[in-house]
C-alpha cells in the first residue's frame, strides 16, 4: 500500500492523434494537487505510427495488436525511464478501440511489462472496470479537473475543455467537497475536434495539420453542413457520453466538394459548434472555459469558440498557469494515486456508470 500523504506520481498518456507519448510528474495525495514536476515527450516515428495505426479499431487477439502493444510499451519504457524517483506510474496506454455499448474498450500496452522494466508499481487499465459496470469508460480526466480547479483557486463553476483528436469537456463546481460529490462534475466528449481536420488536411495537402488554423482562417465555413452535423443523434444524447476517434467519419464526406480552405473552415466550425452545443448541458453557465490539448494552438478554432460562447472567456489553460500539453499525462498520475488509495476514478456524472468506480489495475515489479 502507498505511504500516507502526498507522493510523486508519474503519469503517461498516448493520445488518439498518435503524435507520441506525454509524461509528467505530479505531487498528490489523490485528492489535492500539491505540485507539478518535470514533464517529457517522446514522439512516435513514422514506422511506429504505422504499426499502431494498423491496429486501430481492433480488439485483443487480432494479429496487428501485439506489435502495436510492443511499440507502445517500448516508447513508454524509453520515456519513463528518464524520470527520477516516482512512487508509482499511471499508464494509460494507447486506445485502439472504444465501444462501451459493444465489445468494450481497448488500450494497447501491458502495465505488468512496464512495472518490470521500470522497477516501480504501475497502475493501468483504467477504463475496463467502468465499462464492465455499464459506464462509458471515458472521459476519465474530470476528477483531475476538479482538483485542478481547486489548485488554481477557482471559487465558482468553470469548464475545462480538451481539444485533442476528440474533444471532451468537464464542468466543475469547486465549492463541492470533492470530485465524487453529487453536483461536483459533469463531463462528456463534445464531439470530433482535431481528428477530422487532421485527416482532411493530410489528404488534401499532405501536411499533418492545419498549423495555427491558418488554412481555416482563409476559408468560409458552410452553415448548411455545420447545421447538418449538429443534427447528428450524438448531440441529442444526454451526457455523460463518449466517442471513438472515427465515429464522425461522414463529416469529411460532407465537405468533400468544398475547396480546401472552406472544407477545413467548415470542419473547424463544426468542432467549435459541438462544444457550444455541449455547453448547453452544463448545470449552470460558466464564465470561464480553459482549453488544453493541441487544438488550443488553432487560433481559428479558438476564435470560433469565443464567437459561439458569448459571456464566457475562452482561453488556453496557460492563462491559469497550467501546461496544456501535459494535462492528460498529469491526470493519469493523479488517477494512479487515487487507484492506489482506493478512491473512485469515475462516477455517474462523468462516465454515466451507475455508482462510483475505482478503476485501474496495479502491477508490481517481480509479481
Ligand X SMILES: Nc1ncnc2c1ncn2[C@@H]1O[C@H](COP(=O)(O)OP(=O)(O)OP(=O)(O)O)[C@@H](O)[C@H]1O
Ligand Y SMILES: CC(=O)N[C@H]1[C@@H]2OC[C@@H](O2)[C@@H](O)[C@@H]1O[C@H](C)C(=O)O
Q: Which of 161, 191, 328, 331 binds ligand X (CB under 6 A)?
A: 328
Only segment of 162-170, 198-206, 272-280, 359-367 that touches ligand Y (CB under 6 A): 162-170
Closest CA to 168 of 255, 75, 241: 241
Task: Assess 15 for contact with ligand X (CB under 6 A).
Answer: yes
CA atoms within 13 A on the CB side of 103: 12
Residue whose CB is less far from ligand X, 120 or 290: 290
Task: Assess 298 for contact with ligand X (CB under 6 A).
Answer: yes
Residue whose CB is less far from ligand Y, 173 or 328: 328
Task: Assess 166 for contact with ligand X (CB under 6 A).
Answer: yes
Closest CA to 148 of 36, 40, 239, 240: 36
Task: Assess 9 for contact with ligand Y (CB under 6 A).
Answer: no
Q: Which residues are annotated as a binding site?
A: 15-22
Residue nearest to ligand Y (CB): 139
Q: How far apart are CA 82 and CA 96, in angstroms?
A: 26
* Residue 291: other Cβ atoms inside 10 A: 26
Residue whose CB is less far from ligand X, 209 or 269: 209
One DSSP character per residue, 280-332 reads TTSSS--SEEEEESGGGG-HHHHHHHHHHSTTSEEEEGGGGT--TTTHHHHHH
Q: How far apart are CA 213 and CA 296, in angstroms?
A: 10
Q: How far apart are CA 228 and CA 283, in angstroms?
A: 26
Closest CA to 87 of 268, 253, 333, 261: 333
Q: Which of 92, 127, 145, 209 binds ligand X (CB under 6 A)?
A: 209
Query: How near is the Cβ of 337 to ligand X at its closest, in Å?
Result: 21
Contact 17, 198 (CB under 8 A): yes
Query: How near is the Cβ of 20 to ligand Y at its closest, in Å?
Result: 14
Task: Assess 142 for contact with ligand X (CB under 6 A).
Answer: no
C-alpha cell at 132: 464492465
Residue whose CB is less far from ligand X, 194 or 350: 194
Query: How near is the Cβ of 127 to ligand X at its closest, in Å?
Result: 12
Taking CB atoms within 8 Å and a gap of at least 24, the contacts of 201-210 are 201/264, 204/260, 204/263, 205/260, 209/294, 210/264, 210/268, 210/298, 210/300
Q: Which of 135, 295, 344, 360 binds ligand X (CB under 6 A)?
A: 295
Task: Assess 139 for contact with ligand X (CB under 6 A).
Answer: no
Total number of residues that touch ligand X (CB under 6 A): 21
Task: Assess 194 for contact with ligand X (CB under 6 A).
Answer: yes
Q: Which residues are annotated as a binding site for ATP?
A: 15-22
Query: How near is the Cβ of 297 to ligand X at its closest, in Å?
Result: 3
Q: Which of 189, 210, 260, 262 binds ligand Y (CB under 6 A)?
A: 189
Binding residues (CB under 6 A) for ligand Y: these are 15-16, 95, 98, 105, 138-141, 162, 164, 166, 168, 189, 242, 328
Q: Which residues bind ligand X (CB under 6 A)?
A: 15-17, 19, 162, 164-166, 194, 198, 209-213, 293-295, 297-298, 328
Amino acid at each position: 500500500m502507498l505511504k500516507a500523504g502526498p507522493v510523486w506520481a508519474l503519469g503517461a498518456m498516448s493520445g488518439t492523434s498518435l503524435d507520441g507519448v506525454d509524461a509528467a510528474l505530479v505531487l498528490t495525495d489523490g485528492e489535492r494537487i500539491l505540485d507539478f514536476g518535470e514533464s517529457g515527450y517522446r514522439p512516435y516515428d513514422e514506422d511506429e505510427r504505422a504499426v499502431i495505426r494498423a491496429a486501430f479499431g481492433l480488439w485483443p487477439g487480432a494479429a496487428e495488436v501485439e506489435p502495436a502493444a510492443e511499440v507502445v510499451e517500448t516508447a513508454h519504457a524509453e520515456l519513463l525511464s528518464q524520470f527520477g524517483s516516482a512512487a508509482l506510474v499511471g499508464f494509460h496506454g494507447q486506445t485502439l478501440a472504444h465501444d462501451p455499448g459493444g465489445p468494450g474498450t481497448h488500450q494497447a500496452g501491458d502495465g505488468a511489462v512496464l512495472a518490470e522494466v521500470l522497477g516501480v508499481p504501475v497502475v493501468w487499465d483504467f477504463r475496463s472496470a467502468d465499462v464492465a459496470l455499464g459506464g462509458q469508460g471515458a472521459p476519465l480526466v474530470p476528477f483531475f479537473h476538479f482538483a485542478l480547479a481547486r489548485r488554481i483557486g477557482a471559487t465558482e463553476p468553470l469548464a475545462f475543455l480538451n481539444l485533442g483528436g476528440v474533444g471532451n469537456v468537464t464542468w466543475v463546481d469547486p465549492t463541492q467537497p470533492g470530485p465524487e460529490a453529487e453536483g461536483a462534475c459533469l463531463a462528456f466528449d463534445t464531439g470530433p475536434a482535431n481528428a477530422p481536420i487532421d485527416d482532411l488536411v493530410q489528404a488534401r495537402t499532405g501536411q499533418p495539420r492545419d498549423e495555427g488554423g491558418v488554412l481555416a482562417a482563409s476559408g468560409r465555413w458552410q452553415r448548411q453542413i455545420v447545421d447538418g452535423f449538429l443534427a447528428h443523434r450524438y448531440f441529442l444524447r444526454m451526457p455523460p457520453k463518449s466517442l471513438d476517434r472515427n465515429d464522425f467519419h461522414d463529416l469529411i464526406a460532407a465537405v468533400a466538394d468544398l475547396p480546401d480552405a472552406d472544407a477545413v473552415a467548415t470542419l473547424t466550425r463544426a468542432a467549435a459548434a459541438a462544444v457550444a452545443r455541449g455547453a448547453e448541458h452544463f448545470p449552470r453557465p460558466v464564465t470561464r472555459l480553459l482549453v488544453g490539448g493541441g487544438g488550443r494552438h488553432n487560433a481559428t478554432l479558438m476564435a470560433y469558440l469565443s464567437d459561439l460562447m458569448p459571456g464566457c472567456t475562452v482561453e488556453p489553460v496557460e492563462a491559469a498557469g497550467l501546461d496544456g500539453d501535459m494535462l492528460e499525462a498529469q491526470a493519469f498520475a493523479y488517477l494512479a494515486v487515487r487507484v492506489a488509495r482506493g478512491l473512485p476514478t469515475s462516477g455517474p456524472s462523468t462516465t454515466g456508470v451507475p455508482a462510483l468506480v475505482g478503476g485501474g489495475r496495479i502491477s508490481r515489479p517481480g509479481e
